[in-house]
């Protein structure tokens, strides 16, 4: 691809959330009034769209009321008065936190996850818990605990619907987070989580912006593990500067998570002179030419900003990413789920029989079908006799995939491609997918996640009225590079 060096100088993008915070600070907006408005909206619309699993108006208003008093006394904060929603798998003190699973019914953490605590310290108002696939197992949020079980008085939880077309999925697994980000008319940022693409996918389907940081940049303390070597807490919101603001608050080393690291920073800077790589094998694997066209048209605008587009080659990531990801993710998930057995957290039954019978009966009735499939496959992949052939081989392949990605990132600043190979599908289409077809949908998002690389997504434009997400991946701890390109292109009219 050829570069035309016709550079446009953009004015520095100011986050609308930053403007909101400034108005809260100087009394132009009342945190309490704004909280009432967003609560009215949730009460009215959640019945239809199911973006929230738990939402408690009283708690939101109490937080806003207390904050309002402190603001009058001069309290400051980067997220002062900003309503923040939290994915169900991230612990919020005192609020039922189920990771989208029936097995955690009734579990109310006695502490806040570090990401939540840090947002609160900067004046955020925690709205509630957003809907997701059970423990993050899915791409469409349809593996959400759909049925009630005996004794579960919550009435079950319904599948979140895409606000752009309620017949379609919000994406997953952070579906409620992205759906509400697109739906709300008020200032809001969502805390989400990605293991293999659960932030980029729903943001793409709902036409909003997202950041998934370098592995370790945000503490996982208080996150219910899906796969520990892959899980990352990140953000979804209306614009890149909004999500970058939240990331700057929640990132950084935490003594409670030994894998956490210092914040890499998320500030957007100049992109002039940057090289953007378009991975040809991944592009070839995306069947929909029109969708690629929408993404490429937006990407070409980067040339006007002084960037150069180049073709890059990552054949191993395109060919093996999905297989390697699912083996490792399921192996880790199957061990993580062992602790949910009806003894310590959430759902339990009358103690009867030996421990094997009791654990089996609780797990049989409370885990959904996809969780059970992953426990079986993950256990198989790491069983003695099969371990060498599956789990260990996948671990070796992962190292190769990382080397391949790093070699490409030695030549370009970011790698860019559509976040998903499709636009938000209809629920009727999702029902017809086999598990393997389902997993294949993660083709574009798994490489960056397997390699622990930071990535940001924006809406590139519409196709048949539905958004096409564009994803930018940078090197480890170069989160601000991915953010810079995403913010600059988002700002191009
Ligand atoms: N769709 C992928 C999976 O099912 C990714 C989910 C995630 O990132 N939590 O594993």
Among 137, 332, 446, 450, name the best residue to mutate to test ligand 1's pocket (greatest count of ligand atoms within 8 A of Cβ). 137
Measure 193 CA to ligand 1 centroid, in angstroms.
Answer: 10
pLDDT on residue 393:
97
pLDDT, tens only, 46-60 = 999 999 989 999 999
pLDDT on residue 157:
57
Atom of ligand 1 nearest to the CA of 226: 9
pLDDT on residue 349:
87
Question: Mean of the per-residue pLDDT values for the chain?
Answer: 94
Task: Enumerate the domain spans of the chain.
Answer: 16-311+415-491
Atom of ligand 1 nearest to the CA of 325: 10
pLDDT on residue 13:
57
Among 88, 192, 197, name the best residue to mutate to test ligand 1's pocket (greatest count of ligand atoms within 8 A of Cβ). 197
User: Would you state the structure tokens that stand for residue 389, as one six-digit string?
Assistant: 């052939």
Q: What is the 3-state secondary structure (H, E, C) of the chain?
A: CCCCCCCCCCCCCCCHHHHHHHHHHCCCCCHHHHHHHHHHHHHHHHHHHCCEEEECHHHHHHHHHHHHHHHHCCCCCCCCCCEEEEECCECCCCCCCCCCCHHHCCCCCCCCCHHHHHHHHCCCEEEEEECCCHHHCCCCCCCCCCCCCCCCCCCCCCCCECCCCCCEECCCCCHHHHHHHHHCCCCCEEEEEECCCCCHHHHHHHCCEEEECCCCCECCCCECCCCCCCCEEEEEECCHHHHHHHHHHHECCECCECCCCCCCCCCCCCCCCCEEEEEHHHHHHCCCHHHHHHHHHHHHHHHHHCCEEEEECCHHHHHHHHHHHHHHHHHHHHHHHHHCCCCCCCCCCCCCCCHHHHHHHHHHHHCCHHHHHHHHHHHHHCCCCCCCCCHHHHHHHHHHHHHHHHHHHCCCCEEEEECCCCCCCEHHHHHCCCHHHHHHCCCCCHHHHHCCCCEEEEEEEEECCEEEEEEEECCCCCHHHHHHHHHHHHHCC
Measure 360 CA to ligand 1 centroid, in angstroms.
Answer: 25
Q: What CATH class is the domain 16-311+415-491?
A: alpha beta
d(CA 174, CA 17): 21
**Does 87 qualify as catalytic in the annotation?**
yes
pLDDT tier, 443 (very low <50, low <70, confident <90, very high otherwise): very high
pLDDT, tens only, 455-479 = 999 999 999 999 999 999 999 999 9
Summarize the confidence of residues 105-113 as an average pLDDT: 94
Atom of ligand 1 nearest to the CA of 329: 10
Measure 449 CA to ligand 1 centroid, in angstroms.
Answer: 10
pLDDT tier, 14 (very low <50, low <70, confident <90, very high otherwise): low
Atom of ligand 1 nearest to the CA of 197: 8
pLDDT tier, 12 (very low <50, low <70, confident <90, very high otherwise): low
- 24 three-class SS: helix
Atom of ligand 1 nearest to the CA of 137: 4
pLDDT on residue 150:
47
Atom of ligand 1 nearest to the CA of 132: 9
pLDDT tier, 10 (very low <50, low <70, confident <90, very high otherwise): very low
pLDDT, tens only, 114-160 = 999 999 999 999 999 999 999 999 999 999 874 444 444 555 558 99
Is there a contact between 467 and 490 (Cβ–Cβ < 8 Å)?
no
pLDDT, tens only, 324-372 = 999 999 999 999 999 999 888 888 888 888 989 999 999 998 999 999 9
Is there a contact between 54 and 163 (Cβ–Cβ < 8 Å)?
no
Half-sphere exposure of 231 (CA within 13 A, CB side): 26
**Residue 212 pLDDT exceeds 90:** yes
pLDDT, tens only, 75-97 = 999 999 999 999 999 999 999 99
Is there a contact between 202 and 170 (Cβ–Cβ < 8 Å)?
yes
pLDDT on residue 345:
86
Among 140, 178, 196, name the best residue to mutate to test ligand 1's pocket (greatest count of ligand atoms within 8 A of Cβ). 196
Is there a contact between 307 and 340 (Cβ–Cβ < 8 Å)?
no
Measure 161 CA to ligand 1 centroid, in angstroms.
Answer: 18
**Pocket lining for ligand 1, CB < 6 angstroms:** 136-139, 173, 194-198, 226, 329, 442
Measure 293 CA to ligand 1 centroid, in angstroms.
Answer: 26
**Residue 183 pLDDT exceeds 60:** yes
Summarize the confidence of residues 317-322 as an average pLDDT: 98
Q: How far apart are the first and last CA of the chain?
A: 22
Is there a contact between 167 and 133 (Cβ–Cβ < 8 Å)?
no
The residue that leads in pLDDT, 162 or 145, is: 162
**Does 198 qualify as catalytic in the annotation?**
yes
Atom of ligand 1 nearest to the CA of 370: 4
Measure 335 CA to ligand 1 centroid, in angstroms.
Answer: 16
**Does 173 qualify as catalytic in the annotation?**
yes
Among 195, 419, 438, name the best residue to mutate to test ligand 1's pocket (greatest count of ligand atoms within 8 A of Cβ). 195
Measure 334 CA to ligand 1 centroid, in angstroms.
Answer: 14
Summarize the confidence of residues 375-381 as an average pLDDT: 97
Measure 135 CA to ligand 1 centroid, in angstroms.
Answer: 9
CA 326 to chain centroid: 17
d(CA 200, CA 196): 9
Query: Which entry of 15, 101, 198, 484 is annotated as an active-site residue?
Result: 198
d(CA 302, CA 489): 6
| Residue minimizing CA distance to atom 4 of ligand 1 | 138
The rounded percent of the chain whose pLDDT value lies above 70 is 95
pLDDT, tens only, 273-306 = 999 999 999 999 999 999 999 999 999 999 999 9
Among 87, 201, 375, 435, name the best residue to mutate to test ligand 1's pocket (greatest count of ligand atoms within 8 A of Cβ). 201
| Residue minimizing CA distance to atom 10 of ligand 1 | 137
Query: Which entry of 78, 85, 87, 194 is annotated as an active-site residue?
Result: 87
Measure 211 CA to ligand 1 centroid, in angstroms.
Answer: 16
pTM of the model: 0.95
Query: Which entry of 169, 173, 204, 210 is annotated as an active-site residue?
Result: 173
């Amino acid at each position: 691809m050829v570069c035309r060096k016709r550079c446009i100088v953009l004015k520095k993008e100011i986050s609308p959330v930053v403007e909101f915070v400034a108005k809260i600070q100087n009394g132009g907006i009342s945190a309490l009034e704004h909280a009432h408005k967003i609560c009215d909206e949730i009460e009215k619309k959640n019945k239809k769209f199911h973006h929230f699993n738990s939402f408690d108006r009283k708690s939101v208003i109490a937080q806003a009321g207390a904050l309002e008093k402190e603001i009058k006394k001069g309290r400051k904060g980067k997220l002062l008065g900003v309503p923040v929603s939290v994915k169900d798998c991230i612990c919020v003190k005192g609020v039922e936190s189920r990771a989208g699973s029936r097995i955690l019914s009734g579990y109310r953490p006695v502490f806040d996850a570090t990401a939540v605590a840090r947002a609160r310290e900067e004046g955020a108002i925690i709205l509630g818990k957003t809907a997701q696939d059970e423990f993050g197992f899915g791409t469409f949020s349809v593996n959400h605990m759909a049925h009630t079980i005996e004794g579960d008085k919550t009435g079950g939880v319904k599948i979140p619907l895409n606000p752009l077309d309620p017949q379609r999925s919000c994406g997953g697994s952070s579906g409620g987070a992205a759906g509400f980000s697109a739906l709300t008319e008020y200032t809001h940022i969502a805390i989400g989580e990605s293991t293999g693409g659960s932030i980029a996918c729903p943001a793409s389907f709902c036409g909003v912006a997202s950041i998934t940081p370098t592995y370790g940049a945000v503490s996982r303390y208080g996150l219910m593990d899906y796969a520990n070597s892959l899980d990352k807490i990140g953000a979804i919101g209306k614009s890149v500067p909004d999500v970058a603001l939240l990331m700057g608050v929640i990132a950084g080393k935490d003594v409670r998570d030994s894998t956490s690291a210092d914040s890499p920073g998320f500030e957007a800077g100049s992109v002039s002179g940057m090289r953007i790589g378009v991975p040809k094998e991944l592009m070839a694997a995306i069947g929909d030419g029109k969708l690629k066209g929408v993404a490429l048209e937006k990407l070409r605008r980067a040339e006007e900003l002084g960037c150069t587009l180049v073709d890059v080659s990552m054949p191993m990531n395109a060919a093996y990413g999905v297989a390697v990801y699912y083996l490792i993710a399921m192996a880790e998930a199957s061990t993580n789920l062992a602790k949910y057995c009806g003894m310590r957290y959430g759902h339990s039954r009358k103690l009867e029989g030996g421990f094997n019978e009791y654990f089996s009966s609780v797990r049989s009735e409370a885990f959904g079908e996809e969780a059970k499939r992953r426990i079986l496959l993950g256990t198989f992949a790491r069983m003695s006799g099969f371990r060498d052939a599956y789990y260990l081989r996948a671990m070796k392949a992962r190292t190769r995939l990382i080397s391949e990605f790093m070699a490409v990132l030695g030549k370009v600043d970011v790698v860019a491609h559509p976040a998903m190979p499709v636009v938000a599908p209809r629920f009727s289409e999702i029902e017809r997918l086999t598990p393997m077809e389902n997993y294949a949908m993660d083709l574009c998002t798994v490489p960056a996640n397997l390699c622990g690389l930071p990535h940001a997504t924006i809406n590139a434009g519409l196709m048949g009225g539905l958004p096409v997400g564009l994803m930018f991946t940078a090197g480890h701890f170069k989160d601000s590079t991915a953010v810079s390109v995403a913010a600059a292109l988002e700002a191009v009219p």
